Structure 1
Amino acid sequence: MGRQAVLLANMDNYKTSSSSSDGDGDDSSPLMMSPWNHASPLPKLPWPSSNISTPPAALVGTLRRKEGHICSLAAKDGLLYTGSDSKNIHTWRGMKESSAFKSSSGFVKAIVLSADKIFTAHQDGRIRVWTIDSSGGTHRQIGTLPSFFALVKASMRPKNYVPVAAKRNRAALWIKHADAVSSLSVCQESGLLYSASWDGTFKAWRIRDSKCVESVAAHADAVNAVAAGGAGMVYTGSADGAVKVWRREAAGRRHRLLRALLRQDSAVTALAVGGGGAVVYCGSSDGVVNFWEVEKEELTHGGVLRGHELAVLCLAAAGDLVLSGSADKTICVWRRERGVEHTRLTVLAGHVGPVKCLAVEAEGGDDGKWRVYSGSLDNTVKVWSV
């Protein structure tokens, strides 16, 4: 794995070499030693602030657990899921812990929700599938991606083994990730789940039957983020510094490469799609956020948002807002106005560790407020009203 992937691993708990990350990581934190805890080489430029009379954000409260850094979040209908580098996934409702369920592998790197299913991505290269038991309200695991049966069946045919781009002299079954699963994204339109991995690929899974329908060798280094957009568009960002745009063929399952949006020295660390698929945001290890406007299959670079001194580790978009969480322990809240113009509404500060993940949902009123959850390597989740 390349230099940028190693930098990502140091920040992403706790792979500190380019060797395989199969299995659980070390439980100690190298945050203070991480190369990402260096100031951004870019100047911190002044940014226009919003002219609003009411406070743009307020801290609602803090959710705290002793075990594990918070590495992943998902929220729906007031229910919050938190994943960490422990084996437990916790649920919260109304600022109180509701339940917990345990996976057989630590380090929950991503969580996404789709209808009655919960998908969790793990360091061991697997995706676990959960559902809520309607009788008792408890969570139970109903499968893994790929399933044991699918692995056994695929292993019987030599042609199902393919080279792993991000790992030299190694081959693996094409339906199984050969390294940590770093990111998940659901496309409700097609019924597909997308997974990205440090093995250099992204895979498409059909949600209704949990079948892997395609594996794409997307990058020569770790894929750190995947995001499904509208009209069959899929975006991938990698430690190789590239953002690539893929399009699902209308008549089938295959994805073709449309173009590379970005090629840079800094690792791409996060992606988000906003405006109903009209804008794509990319966060990088240099602390900046690039964005593009999407018109059919044409993408135009709209500009750069500079608000952080260290690496951008996560992004979230909701309505006309986009939020960026950083290793500098802050969250910037931006509002998109008149196409490509962005105003920085506020900076949310309060974490004492890097902000690793974000989740956003509408508060339910008519006042345009959003409930924002920020997870940090300081072992807390902060809840904000924005």
Structure 2
Amino acid sequence: MTPTFPLQYEMKTRPRPSNLSRFFRCRPTTDDDDDDELPPLTTSSTAGSDNSPYTMSPYNPSAASSPFVRSPWIHSTAAVAPFPQDPNTALLGSLIRQEGHVYSLAVSGDLLFTGSDSKNIRVWKNFSELGGFKSCSGLVKSIVLFKDKVFTGHQDGKIRVWKLDSKSDGYKRVGTLPRFQDFLKSSIRPSNYIEVRRHRNAVWLRHFDAVSCLALNAEQGLLYSGSWDRTIKVWRLSDFKCLASVNAHDDAVNAVATAFGNMVMSGSADGTVKLWEREERTGKHVAVRTLLRRDSAVTSIAVAEKDGVVYCGSSDGWVRFWVGGRRFEKGGGLRWHSMAVLCLATAGRMVVSGSADRTVRVWRREGLGAQHVRVAALAGHTGPVKCLAVQEDVEGGGEVGGRWLVYSGSLDGSVRVWRGGNRPAQPAVGRNWV
């Protein structure tokens, strides 16, 4: 029997919509975070505004011009041929908190961090809750870890920074991006305001819509944030200063990733994956090329930097990839999901995808990365799989020994932990389409 680890606690609740409604529909948020330094943003989006990026986003089904109306999020596609379950793959357990959808997670060693629409960030160890911390506003859409700090991106447009407090053995908020002093200084000069909607202006260094994704360039000491406001912002990790704002896409930015030194990849609901290069001398980000242009929204990006492979997931159910490192040569596409791919993760030669079809699929790269072998199909979630993390199973021998751990977070409110091998149950090479 699969072990579960439910935790009971009391909290204020309110009637919730269906599992998918919060994911498909954007709900306006109010900045009621009393302990945050920045004042409420008067130009924040509302679902009823015709000029809001919400109306262009694939998460808004009322947008007739959006790729959403053609995506598998609402229309099932042709069934994908079943794949026999690997007998060596096992579900180790489920982490359950009755606090809503799980939107984000990150893993470091034996610690797992999860974020949900309850605005909580939970810390888990060995299937038990070790602790947690809470933001007073903005559901947690993304989490990245850097040294002793935790960065979280929220739907209220803010990035919060947390650090372990040695005195209390808990996590304490040590900053909010942008910093209050930077925001105040910029708000004084009219030249620092940009038009975010018709007849509405905002200071350029602040996201005025949900922060949907975060990515680190640890070597250069930079944090990248992508937002539904269609921009990518660049933050310096040493002092949390906003260095640049890139007008990246024509619709919501859903994914951002860094790799190969100074390269940045971004994916958007406008159906494109764009490549940017940071100039060392000026610090500016220059558009290099558009890697992908489709009708379907791009939902996720993952990089296997050691092998020089970049993956992107789309709402049409495909995982497309490029090989050759900085050359970004077309490698093809992988199809094993019957609905939208919502998240991707890589570790070693393993590639893992989560989908709105409620399954997790595991691949292994072969050779130079152009061929991929189907390893396992993981089923058990009752809602779309929204976030993933992959880790070598040290106790099982790591990837050298052919063992891995997959953490999958779902809109069904649970996180599942899987263990398996990197060899398929039977030979089955995934079809690669150029």
- TM-score, reference length from structure 2: 0.79
> Larger Cα Rg: Structure 1 or Structure 2?
2
| Structure 1: gaps spanning 5 or more residues | 1-8, 23-33
Taking the TM superposition and a 5 Å limit, the aligned residue runs for 1:271-290 are: 271-276=301-306, 278-290=308-320
Which residue in 2 is equivalent to 1:203? Answer: 233
Match of 2:219 among 189, 199, 203: 189
Which among 329, 346, 352 is matched to residue 358 of structure 2? 329
Q: Distance in 1 between matches of 2:419 and 2:198?
A: 47
CA distance, structure 1, for counterparts of residue 390 and residue 24 of structure 2? 23
What are the superposed Cα offsets for residues 107-139 of structure 1, whole Å, 9 maximum, x if unpaired?
A: 100000000110000000000000001233200
Does 2:273 correspond to 1:243?
A: yes
Compared CA separation, residues 262 and 55, structure 1 to 2 (3 A): same
Percent identity at matched positions? 52
Distance 1:18 1:308 in 2: 33
| Displacement of 1:234 | 0.5
Distance 1:149 1:13 in 2: 36
Which residue number in structure 2 is paired with residue 338 of structure 1? Answer: 367
Q: Secondary structure at the match of 1:378?
A: coil
- How far 1:58 moved relative to its partner? 1.4
Distance in 1 of aligned mates of 2:243 and 2:351: 31
Distance in 2 between the 1:10 and 1:173 partners?
A: 31
Superimposed CA distance per residue, residues 196-225 of structure 1 (whole angstroms, 9 cap, x where no aligned partner): 000010011011100111110000111111
Tell whether the 8 Å contact from 1:64 to 1:381 is kept in structure 2 after alignment. yes
Within 1, Cα distance between the matches of 2:358 and 2:95?
Answer: 16
Compute the TM-score of the two structures, normalised by the length of structure 1. Answer: 0.88
**Contact 2:115–2:142 (CA under 8 A) maintained in structure 1:** yes
Which amino acid in 1 is paired with 2:342?
L
Cα deviation digits, residues 151-195 of structure 1 (max 9, x gap) = 11100111111233xx44433211100110000011111111100
Cα 1:149–1:21, aligned 2, differ >3 Å: closer, same or farther?
farther
Cα gap change, 1:249 to 1:217, in 2 (>3 Å): same
Q: Distance in 2 between matches of 1:40 and 1:98?
A: 39
- In 2, distance between residues paired with 1:207 and 1:312? 31
Matched letter for residue 385 of structure 2: V
Structure 1: how far apart are the matches of 2:352 and 2:124?
22
How many angstroms apart in 1 are the aligned matches of 2:193 and 2:403?
A: 49
CA RMSD, aligned part only? Answer: 2.3
Cα shift readout 1:349-378 (whole Å, capped 9, x = no counterpart): 000000010012222243232221100011
Q: Distance in 2 between matches of 1:217 and 1:341?
A: 35
Residues in 2 aligned to 1:311 and 1:383: alpha-carbon distance in whole angstroms: 22
Who is 1:299 aligned against? 328
Per the TM alignment, residue 149 of structure 1 is displaced from its structure 2 partner at its CA by 1.3
The residue type equivalent to 1:231 in the other structure is G
Q: Structure 2 counterpart of 1:90, which letter?
A: R
State how far apart, in whole Å, the 1-side matches of 2:159 and 2:234 are: 12
Task: Give the direction of change, closer, same or farther, for the CA distance of 1:235–1:18 in structure 2 (3 Å limit).
Answer: farther
Decide which of 182, 189, 192 is 1:150's aligned counterpart: 182
User: Residues 110 and 18 (structure 1 numbering): CA distance in 2 closer, same or farther, change over 3 Å?
Assistant: farther
Per the alignment, do residues 215 and 343 of structure 1 end up closer, same or farther by CA in structure 2, a change over 3 Å counting?
same
Query: Taking structure 1 as reference, are residues 352 and 12 closer, same or farther at Cα in structure 2, changes over 3 Å only?
Result: same
Whole-angstrom CA distance in 2 between matches of 1:99 and 1:21: 35
Instruction: For residue 100 of structure 1, report the CA deviation from its aligned partner.
Output: 1.5
- Evaluate the alpha carbon distance shift between residue 169 and residue 283 of structure 1 in structure 2; reply closer, same or farther with a 3 A threshold: farther
Deviations 1:24-52 (A, max 9, x none): xxxxxxxxxx97543454x45659989xx
Task: Please give the secondary structure, in 2, of the residue aligned with 1:351.
Answer: coil
Q: Give 2:406's aligned amino acid.
A: V
Match of 2:74 among 38, 49, 58: 38
Task: Map 1:46-61; keep pairs closer than 5 Å.
Answer: 55-61=87-93
Is 2:303 the counterpart of 1:269?
Answer: no
For residues 22 and 289 of structure 2, the distance between their equivalents in structure 1, rounded to whole angstroms, comes to 29
Q: Give the 3 Å change call, closer, same or farther, for CA 251–122 of structure 1 in structure 2.
A: same
Give distance in 2, aligned partners of 1:294 and 1:171.
42
Instruction: Pick which of 363-372 and 85-94 moved more.
Output: 363-372
Q: Find the aligned partners of 2:93 and 2:83 in 1 and give their Cα distance.
A: 28
Is the Cα contact below 8 Å between 1:11 and 1:36 reproduced in 2? no
- Match of 1:98, SS state, is strand
User: What corresponds to 2:409 in structure 1?
Assistant: 375
Letter in 2 for 1:325: G
> Letter of the aligned partner of 2:169 in structure 1?
G
| Separation in 1, partners of 2:351, 2:48 | 33
Contact kept in structure 1, 2:307 and 2:325, CA below 8 Å: no
Contact 2:80 2:337 in 1 (8 A): no
| Partner-residue secondary structure (3-state), 1:12 | helix
Q: 2:252 aligns with which of 222, 241, 254?
A: 222
- What letter matches 2:164 in structure 1? I
Tell me, in whole angstroms, the C-alpha distance in 1 between the residues paired with 2:88 and 2:22. Answer: 30
2:127 is the alignment partner of 1:69: no
- SS of 1:259's equivalent in the other structure is strand
**Cα distance change of structure 1 residues 147 and 277 upon mapping to structure 2, 3 Å threshold:** farther
Structure 2 unaligned residues grouped into runs of 5+: 1-19, 28-46, 55-68, 421-434
